[in-house]
């Protein structure tokens, strides 16, 4: 329930959207559309600046600039911001949603795709909708049970559900209107974590699953009925069968062999879209390959279109128009699913309609959004996989050393950036007044190692299918600390015309929040180490900061109701970094605590804080020999680390298996056989023999004793004050 400054309460299920005239005077309700909540269409989104108090689409407008014209909160008074209200979400896991606010109502999501409708002025709950995502399939989503938000259109709210469904909800009642299963192949591990977009009456959604070996695509559904309108595949299917449209005719020529048919190919469009109403072009950000190693995916040959590409399609038909590939033949998980921004820039004295993206590979691209012509590309952080971009061909100049893990000498290579990139899904923003793009950037590297034998597809659906070794890091605290010291974050203000940095702010680690910029000369961002912050958009000077009770990954928004401007952050630590690389994410020093935090000038509400973590229980004695423990370690890191952390060091989102209670130790084999499916823990009965389960258990007991010997985290917790840069 929300915590806020004193305000009149409304009954939990009161249909107040029908009663503003009756109740408005007595309870000071915001001005809400009486007949149809969420009455949004393409004209309203395209003309978003005409009603700046609303935030009607994922990036506020179709161009996804995440810039607000609101200016009641400015660089002169932002230090007066205080918490206006908070709302506690149901599940404490990763929170990545961008809220939508229309006519005084906020629509947002939490873990497992639960949808919330809240009074945007007070945080009072209007309704909640739980799509009941299939918890037995939770392990088939690569990066926590997260969701990045909803779309709204003509009285309906649309949400992509983790288990692969797309659902329409009545914005007034919170009741389901229709539901479709978006999965192309139900035998594969498809999921949805991204936010839908609605364009020309069609709800557009992609899927996740490349790490589990699927074929990528984007689908458009009729917003009223849920009927499929079109589907655009991002990588080819069986080369012996006819190609699905012009795009696949182009793409199939760039793939080799048949391994990708069995392995899926990848190319999932799991996050970003943008739309130009004048050109009627929908822009799709396409993901990485499956398998990751090009040798085992495509015989080490070809560009493998449309992996790691920006693809423009006709928004009405889904027909291919143009593409630009950021990383041909992707070998490092360098997705181009990162946030795309549409803007009009003056380049070399000429006005250009551009698309801007900073994908994982470390370059910032400026592209003509009508034709796909590359206008410029420069790296935003230090990189070693490429020496630059050839402007004649538009292709990266790949460094032979970085490519040597899969060709040539085939030795393990430390590559920068690593698999979470120089910039991941965390949205950036563009301020037309400063001309700067504000990018949550990563400084990180990762090892990549070729495996000598062609990997067979693993039948267990909750296991990564990468086709190489990666994510290797030491177990011992000293070695782990040295490795962690090479990972940090930055907020970068980037000039897209000059292709150079204007200013930067360092952070202690990666996975800091997306950004919002406003006409008040402000940039807002949350941090992995549990703060919400405002900077001057022109200089980067820090102007305001408050604690957030958890790590903040999502991008904030701003809106107004009754003339009052608010800023909302979705807080809650989790996601890929906090699960897979738990040991490194512990440096942030936070724990998952999912809530909506909304601020206004003069706000005085009290921040809700999580309870302290319990002390670790004494583990049982280790009874296995070294060979058994080593076997358990290999099984654990191969199957379990994606959720519970490499080497059994959890980031605190999912249980730290070094801290099992005596009762859980007794129930361990039953849990692996499915006893906790309702909690999202899949059954591993098809993956392990009984002896293998016991090996894993002994390894965890060994790691529990290591933890007691080495200290509670294996790494010193860094704060922004103690970190050195």
List active site positions: 333
What does residue 515 show for φ and ψ, rounded to 5 degrees?
-120, 155
Classify residue 695 as exposed, middle or buried by CB count within 10 Å of its CB (0-12, 13-18, 19+).
buried
Residue that has been written with the tokens 């090479």 in this structure: 486
Give the residue from 281, 298, 186, 295 showing the smallest Cα distance to 236: 298
Classify residue 630 as exposed, middle or buried by CB count within 10 Å of its CB (0-12, 13-18, 19+).
middle
d(CA 1, CA 605): 13
Alpha-carbon torsion (502, 508, 510, 511), positive or negative: negative
Is the distance from CB of 169 to CB of 115 less than 8 angstroms?
A: yes
- Distances in whole angstroms, Cα of residue 236 to Cα of each of 192, 231, 249, 253, 259: 21, 13, 8, 9, 12
d(CA 232, CA 284): 10
Is the distance from CB of 102 to CB of 37 less than 8 angstroms?
A: yes
- Distances in whole angstroms, Cα of residue 404 to Cα of each of 295, 385, 410, 412, 587: 12, 10, 5, 8, 32
Which residues are registered as beta bridge partners of 165?
181
Pull the structure tokens for residue 534: 């405002």
Is the distance from CB of 207 to CB of 192 less than 8 angstroms?
A: yes
d(CA 396, CA 402): 13
CB atoms within 10 A of CB 12: 11
Residue that has been written with the tokens 């810039």 in this structure: 67
Burial of 185-218, coded b for 16+ CB within 10 Å and e otherwise, reads eeebbbbbbbbbbbbbbbbbbbbbbbbbbbbbbb
**How, if at all, do strands 374-379 and 228-233 pair?**
unpaired
Is the distance from CB of 650 to CB of 660 less than 8 angstroms?
A: no
Alpha-carbon torsion (258, 260, 262, 268), positive or negative: negative
Region of 299 (left: φ > 0; alpha: ψ -120 to 50; beta: rest) is: left
CB atoms within 10 A of CB 226: 16
CB atoms within 10 A of CB 261: 16
d(CA 220, CA 350): 35
């Amino acid at each position: 329930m929300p915590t806020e400054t004193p305000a009149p309460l409304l009954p939990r299920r009161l249909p107040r959207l029908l009663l503003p005239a009756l109740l408005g005077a007595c309870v000071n309700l915001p001005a809400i559309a009486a007949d149809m909540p969420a009455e949004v269409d393409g004209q309203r989104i395209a003309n978003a600046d005409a009603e700046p108090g609303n935030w009607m689409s994922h990036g506020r407008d179709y161009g996804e600039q995440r810039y607000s014209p609101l200016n009641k909160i400015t660089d002169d008074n932002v230090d007066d911001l205080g918490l206006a209200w908070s709302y506690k979400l149901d599940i404490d896991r990763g929170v990545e949603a961008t809220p939508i606010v229309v006519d005084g109502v906020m629509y947002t999501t939490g873990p497992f795709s639960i949808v919330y409708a809240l009074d945007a002025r007070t945080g009072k709950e209007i309704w909640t909708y739980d799509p009941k995502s299939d918890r037995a399939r939770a392990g088939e989503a690569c990066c926590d049970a997260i969701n990045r938000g909803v779309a709204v259109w003509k009285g309906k709210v649309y949400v992509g559900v983790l288990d692969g469904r797309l659902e329409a909800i009545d914005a007034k009642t919170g009741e389901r209107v229709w539901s479709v299963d978006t999965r192309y192949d139900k035998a594969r591990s498809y999921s949805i974590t991204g936010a839908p977009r609605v364009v020309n009456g069609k709800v557009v959604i992609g899927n996740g699953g490349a790490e589990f070996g699927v074929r990528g695509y984007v689908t458009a559904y009729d917003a009223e009925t849920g009927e499929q309108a079109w589907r655009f595949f991002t990588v080819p299917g069986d080369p012996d069968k006819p190609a699905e449209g012009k795009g696949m005719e182009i793409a199939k020529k760039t793939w080799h062999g048949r391994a990708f048919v069995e392995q899926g190919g990848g190319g999932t469009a799991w996050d970003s879209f943008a739309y130009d109403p004048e050109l009627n072009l929908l822009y799709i950000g396409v993901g990485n390959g499956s398998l990751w190693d090009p040798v085992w995916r495509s015989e080490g040959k070809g560009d493998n279109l449309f992996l790691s590409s920006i693809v423009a399609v006709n928004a009405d038909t889904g027909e291919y128009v143009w593409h630009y590939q950021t990383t041909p033949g992707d070998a490092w998980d360098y997705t181009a699913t990162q946030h795309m921004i549409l803007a009009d820039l003056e380049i070399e004295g000429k006005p250009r309609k551009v698309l801007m993206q900073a994908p994982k590979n470390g370059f910032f691209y400026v592209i003509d959004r009508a034709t796909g012509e590359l206008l410029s590309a420069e790296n935003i952080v230090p990189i070693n996989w490429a020496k630059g971009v050839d402007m004649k061909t538009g292709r990266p100049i790949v460094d032979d050393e970085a490519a040597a893990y899969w060709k040539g000498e085939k030795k393990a290579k430390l590559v920068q950036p690593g698999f979470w990139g120089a910039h991941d899904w965390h949205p950036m923003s563009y301020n037309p007044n400063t001309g700067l793009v504000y990018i949550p950037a990563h400084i990180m590297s990762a090892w990549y190692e070729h495996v000598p034998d062609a990997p067979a597809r693993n039948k267990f659906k909750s296991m990564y299918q990468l086709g190489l070794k990666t994510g290797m890091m030491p177990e011992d605290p000293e070695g782990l600390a040295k490795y962690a010291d090479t990972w940090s974050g930055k907020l970068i203000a980037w000039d897209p015309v000059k292709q150079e940095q204007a200013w930067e702010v360092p952070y202690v680690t990666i996975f800091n929040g997306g950004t919002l910029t406003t006409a008040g000369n402000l940039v807002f961002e949350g941090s992995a180490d549990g703060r919400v912050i405002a900077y001057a958009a022109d200089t980067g000077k820090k102007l305001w900061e408050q604690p957030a009770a958890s790590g903040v990954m999502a991008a904030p928004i701003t809106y107004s109701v009754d003339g009052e401007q608010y800023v909302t952050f979705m807080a809650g630590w989790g996601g890929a970094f906090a699960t897979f690389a738990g040991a490194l994410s512990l440096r942030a020093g936070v724990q998952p605590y999912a809530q909506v935090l909304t601020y206004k000038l003069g706000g005085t509400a009290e921040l809700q804080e999580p309870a302290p973590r319990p002390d670790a229980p004494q583990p049982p004695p280790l009874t296995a020999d070294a060979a058994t423990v080593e076997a358990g370690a290999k099984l654990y890191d191969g199957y379990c680390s994606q959720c519970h952390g490499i080497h059994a060091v959890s980031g605190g989102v999912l249980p730290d298996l070094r801290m099992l209670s005596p009762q859980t130790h007794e129930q361990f084999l039953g849990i692996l056989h499915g006893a906790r499916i309702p909690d999202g823990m899949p059954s591993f009965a098809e993956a392990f023999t009984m002896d293998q389960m016991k090996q894993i258990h002994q390894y965890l007991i060994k790691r529990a004793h290591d933890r007691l010997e080495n200290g509670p985290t294996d790494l010193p917790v860094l704060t922004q004050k103690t970190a050195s840069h």
